[in-house]
Structure 1
Amino acid sequence: MAVVVVTDSAAGLSADLVAGLGIEVVPLHVLVGEREIREGVDPIEIDYTADSVTTSAASPGELREAYERALSHSDGDGVVAVHLSRRLSATWESGRQAVRDMGAEDRVRVVDSLGAGLATGLPVLAAARRARAGEALDDVYERAVSAATRSRTFILVNRTEQLRKGGRLSSAAAFFGSELVTKPLLQLVEGKLEMREKVRTRSRAYAKLVAAAVDAAASDGAALGIQHLGAEEAAENIAAQLREQLPQVHELYVAEFGPALGVHLGVGALGVAVLPGGCV
């Protein structure tokens, strides 16, 4: 058969992409009061402003089950699991634990994407395409690591309080993104969210987001992923600007943030993931 790529539901990939490349997706969990909901599996309605809504990582047991299923589908060729940043979620560590429990370190490789959302999804696509082309486990793994290392992510949020409460952003950075600015522009640096810039107007914030993405793209092309939560019109506008300014873009995806990320980013969040060189 071929190497199978596994990821988690935070990767933001469409059902068509997942099915077409044979990617295995493990759901993360959204906790609404006393209910635990599997993202992408169970029906869900969320009040993103409620303090009672939070998230949890996939467990080692869930990931082990997914890895074993993927390994079986690969006919022993191996598994590459690409998960959201270990500095944002315990999922990567759960994956490592699952592999240790399986005793399968030589057959299942776990990759920290250093990102979240499509910043995870783009390296997943890069790895899955290599796997579908019949490349060996080591080659698929190296492609995933390379893509994760090169990827850049920029995120615009309305407020940083939810990120601070969840431990995804330092108190100091959250302070500078609270009342002093209208739009905090964040970036992922080595898998951790940091304040990039303080922007006072919405139009200026969008311009800064586009400029950051353009600067991050390679001259020979890039893959782009644009995500939002309740800001579809703004996302499409950003996409149009990027298509115009980056005619060499290989592929561009627009999607909504799933609940597992939306809970922390808040309504109105808008992000751009850039993978220089694309997902080929």
Structure 2
Amino acid sequence: MRRIQIVTDSTAYFIKEEAISKKINIVPLSVNFSGSINKEGFSGEFKDFFDKLKNSNGFPTTSQPSVGDFVEAYKRAFKAGDEIIAIVISAELSGTYNSARLAADMVAKDKITIIDSKTSAGNLKLLVETAVQLSEQGLSRNEIENQIIKQRERMSINLTVDTLEYLKRGGRLSNTTAFIGTLLNIKPVIGLVDGKLVPVGKERGKKKAMEAIISKVPEIVKRISIAHVQNISEAEQYKSELEKRFPNAIITIDELGPVIGSHLGPKAIGLCSSW
């Protein structure tokens, strides 16, 4: 039995079998779309949602897990271990961190550590996997927290979108800017800076956007997660190019789900790098 149990949220996008085998407690965020509220599922379960999104003029809204959701997750985790570390999506992107913290106060504050990952997707997944490994090695809660915080500073996310439509629908672009950008085939490059998604560049066309994103990967990179929204063909192109440039890096392809993907739109793609 692992003494320290690990809790995270659904935006780490684990495959269900993987989460079960590693005994990771997943607390899902929710998506409200066309009057229906659903918990975000696991990687590999998202195709129907994005097919529906492509054929709709509506725009989903997302919500953090409730305090009660985390209370239940902590109680489950305490059945398997004595202490808990919860690593969650950036507090700048979601209120999930606050829910996790308030729940800890209600359950056993002195036995639960909450870490703001300041990231999401493939990088959040890496932090969680690292915490699991360190826990299995017998490190203390403080030691694991220190290692996770150090790793958190050696990460980056850069991405682009296939269409500006979903940034417009979400209020991140004006109608005029979206229209002109579409006309000129502008692809924004968006980066995660201090836990927030911010524009870091713009390119004409997919090829230049791809080159701009790859150019931001540091030479010392150890792991790259190619994160995509229902865009496996382009993800394979990225993988082929990355394997040439970074032969020593571990490179994986990972799906983004509705909570993140609905704001970016189908075929969005990016790189989660760690070193």
| Match among 116, 119, 140 for residue 136 of structure 1 | 140
Give the corresponding residue for 1:95: 100
| Match among 137, 144, 151 for residue 147 of structure 1 | 151
CA distance in 1, matches of 2:128, 2:170: 25
Shift of 1:3: 0.9
Give the corresponding residue for 1:258: 257
Shift of 1:147: 2.0
Question: Could you tell me the percent identity over the aligned residues?
Answer: 27
Indicate if the aligned counterparts of 2:168 and 2:178 stay in contact, CA closer than 8 A: no
Q: Give the 3 Å change call, closer, same or farther, for CA 134–170 of structure 1 in structure 2.
A: farther
Unaligned 5+ runs, structure 1: none
Q: Give the 3 Å change call, closer, same or farther, for CA 89–160 of structure 1 in structure 2.
A: farther
Partner of 1:87, secondary structure, is coil
Determine whether 1:30 maps to 2:34: no
Indicate if the aligned counterparts of 1:48 and 1:262 stay in contact, CA closer than 8 A: no
- Code of the residue aligned with 1:198 in structure 2: it is K
Shift of 1:164: 6.1
Partner of 2:239, secondary structure, is helix
Indicate if the aligned counterparts of 1:5 and 1:79 stay in contact, CA closer than 8 A: yes
Give the corresponding residue for 2:91: 86
Shift of 1:163: 4.2
CA offsets, 1:18-57, max 9 Å, x none?
233221111111112222111117x773222442422111
Q: Give the 3 Å change call, closer, same or farther, for CA 189–23 of structure 1 in structure 2.
A: same
TM-score, length of structure 2 as denominator length:
0.87
Indicate if the aligned counterparts of 1:154 and 1:187 stay in contact, CA closer than 8 A: yes
CA offsets, 1:107-127, max 9 Å, x none?
111111111211211111111
Determine whether 1:6 maps to 2:7: yes
1:105-120 residue pairs with structure 2 within 5 A?
A: 105-120=109-124
CA offsets, 1:86-143, max 9 Å, x none?
11111111111111222x2221111111112112111111111111222111112222
CA distance in 1, matches of 2:3, 2:187: 45
Q: Give the 3 Å change call, closer, same or farther, for CA 36–129 of structure 1 in structure 2.
A: same
TM-score, length of structure 1 as denominator length:
0.86
CA distance in 2, matches of 1:274, 1:112: 18
Q: How many residues align?
A: 265
